[in-house]
A and B are shown apart, each in its own frame.
Chain A
């Protein structure tokens, strides 16, 4: 099977001459054309990445970013065009080892095997062999420990990889990539599943490695991250290269314009509050508490009001939102949805009381990937599809058709499986389902995670529209763009609501509150 042991690359040498312009680019792709059947995924695309830089690749969903990544990592051969690494030609597609020595990619989807230990994941298929050709587990552990401490990744090599957090998993994957000798690493939306603190730690790590001569290609939907961490930015649109420029020379508005192909307004209009005092509040929560997760949470969401629930990953915001919709049961306290008191811990009861819900992770809780858009969108409202437990297909397709139109889901028809849609459109299906029963209360957890700029604008616009019709909205998120349109934002820190601010807050104040830092002190 294995050809025995391969040496682990020792501590990195400082990159003294790495940034000299004379050095050949780490990777250069020119004139790349890639077709999948009738679809042209890349049409004469190019990118040049110089040693030591952190290069951003941005573009809307479907711009060809993922295809470029698979070409650069040797998963697909381009139909036309050439890829060179450090001036030399790319290895053959079948020569996985050669590719791994040149480039590594940390995908959104984990390439870690959850049932094995961290150490074994690091040295999979290149275990340390002791006497008699048998694997020496002490050797594997020791080398894993060395590797992890070389790159100061603080993870126990003996713990099962399935127990790692997303952040730790990424660090382990980066360390593994570096151990193959690759000094060019592609990060595919690494921040999508991280909270603000973890993103900062990731960025520190990137800067650290950059100083040691590692080159990054950074793919993200979050433009502020591009400005924070990257030196160069390349924009793709409609399968083609649009512009490459130093980040500092490309203002935000121009970058968005390059991505969308039209001049975008930088900031949305201030919305007019639609709070309706005349009816019962959409949500009233009193002294809600649940063991370690959150304590004494009290707030109200009025009809037509949008309330943000901000906080870092472990602040309890997600858990509070999940309690509201019945995914969890609180240990203490009361909960009222539009005047009704649903049975705690029961999703059907919460839905019956008038709640609509966009869960945290759409892949995990949001939809059934192989079922059609129509089925997914109407999953929670079977009673509207027919009588006596029989479903009417016509009525389902009608209802789904209206939703597709209402939410501008890009699809040839309601019968397409949701897995065939892009991330933004998938999230729209989840949103459509939340809105299917005209909820009195709409609960959204990270509603724009992994969604492109335009879909994000659209989804948030839809939320405002829903609020204007008298629905109360609760948004649990740490994404500032989600929170910007809220009438009020409650900030949670370590399980308690610590701050409440009206609209018009400054970014740094809110972030400071989420991190539990007092700026005035």
Chain B
């Protein structure tokens, strides 16, 4: 029987089984290590950033990076869950705009822009989240209940929701948002913006749920082989409903945080985000074929993208070139994760 002494000093006997792949005599399987594949890249970027501009590693700058990424990170979280069950939701970026847009429309006093002023300001947050849930319900209904193709359904929803927001706002931006809507984007808890706390807390919850609960594992089972999941007694449709609706609610929350930070709801809020969201998820090791990847990996993916953008800004790259570089970064990051991840991306 092979004896393996762990680095921590705890002596553990390993069952007399075949060879194990992984560190510490198989205590940490290789699959787990792949989740950490982006950590070296993040460290490298941090070092490069520090060399480029010593401001980079200062607390203010790091908080700035985390805050600007917090809203999109929530979309990544939502999309990651949805990708793991082998679905896609393109409409998240429109939900992110429409949900706070509807709230602002109903709450912002008449006379200021296109506001109707029908409801008191306290209603803003419940309305935002309810609109998110409603969008999720419609998506689920079309995809799960009626069996339509998820990609096309959410593509249609993306366009419809964006159009509704443009319609109710007259293509303009809502200002004079009520205090409740500004709160999540402006408040500070324990010296850090609330949106960072919310983002980190939700990721922590998601990591635990996906890794350590039956519900979370059923997401992987459904994405990996839906028939086998059904055969194992998982109520697959119900899980899919929960995932898609939760995803839309998270998108609404992300929209609320963004509106709060910018103190406005632009009719183009969230426009074009979904591409970066997909890129971050794939860079973070989420398979578009479902059943693979972890929340931690997805978080690393979005963090890496925003750190690189920040380094570029600090290096004084002209703003006109940032767009082209962003696309290039995504391609390079994908290539890096292909090399460190080792497997062909599907």
Decide whether A and B assemble into one complex. yes
16 contacts between A and B (CB under 8 A): A1-B235, A110-B225, A112-B228, A113-B291, A115-B220, A116-B217, A116-B291, A117-B31, A125-B233, A126-B214, A134-B208, A134-B213, A137-B212, A155-B18, A156-B17, A159-B20
Q: Are B214 and A2 in contact (CB under 8 A)?
A: yes
Chain B residue numbers with a CB within 8 Å of A96 are: 231, 233
Q: Which of B17, B29, B229 contacts A117 (CB 8 A)?
A: B29
Q: Are A160 and B215 in contact (CB under 8 A)?
A: no
**Distance in Å: Cβ of A71 to nearest Cβ of chain B:** 16
Given contacts A111-B228, A112-B228, A124-B234, contact A154 B18 (CB under 8 A): yes
Please give the residue numbers on chain A whose beta carbons come within 8 Å of chain B beta carbons, in ascending order. 1-2, 96-97, 100, 109-117, 120, 124-127, 129, 133-135, 137, 145, 154-156, 158-160
**Distance in Å: Cβ of B4 to nearest Cβ of chain A:** 14
In the bound assembly, the distance between CA atoms of A100 and B233 in angstroms comes to: 10
Chain B residue numbers with a CB within 8 Å of A158 are: 20, 22, 26, 29
In the bound assembly, the distance between CA atoms of A114 and B226 in angstroms comes to: 11
Q: Which of B15, B220, B233 contacts A116 (CB 8 A)?
A: B220
Which A-B residue pairs are the 7 nearest by beta carbons?
A113-B224, A2-B214, A115-B291, A134-B212, A115-B224, A124-B232, A111-B228
Closest to A120 in B: B217
B window 188-224: CB within 8 A of A: 208, 211-215, 217-218, 220-221, 223-224
Number of interface residues of B (CB under 8 A): 34
In the bound assembly, the distance between CA atoms of A111 and B20 in angstroms comes to: 24
Q: Are B225 and A113 in contact (CB under 8 A)?
A: yes
- Interface secondary structure of A, over-half rule: loop
Chain A residue numbers with a CB within 8 Å of B233 are: 96-97, 100, 125-126
**Distance in Å: Cβ of B232 to nearest Cβ of chain A:** 4
Q: Is the C-beta of B227 less than 8 angstroms from some C-beta in chain A?
A: yes
Q: Are A113 and B220 in contact (CB under 8 A)?
A: yes
Q: Are B214 and A127 in contact (CB under 8 A)?
A: yes
Q: Are B227 and A111 in contact (CB under 8 A)?
A: yes
Q: Is the C-beta of B292 less than 8 angstroms from some C-beta in chain A?
A: yes
Chain B residue numbers with a CB within 8 Å of A125 are: 214, 217-218, 221, 229, 232-234
Given contacts A97-B233, A114-B225, A134-B212, contact A1 B218 (CB under 8 A): yes
Q: Are A160 and B225 in contact (CB under 8 A)?
A: no
Chain A residue numbers with a CB within 8 Å of B229 are: 113, 124-125
Closest to A145 in B: B15
**Distance in Å: Cβ of B247 to nearest Cβ of chain A:** 18
Chain B residue numbers with a CB within 8 Å of A155 are: 18
In the bound assembly, the distance between CA atoms of A187 and B21 in angstroms comes to: 32
**Distance in Å: Cβ of A73 to nearest Cβ of chain B:** 9
Q: Are A115 and B212 in contact (CB under 8 A)?
A: no
Q: Mark B2-39, 1 if CB is under 8 A from A, else 0.
A: 00000000000001011011100010010100000000
Closest to B231 in A: A111
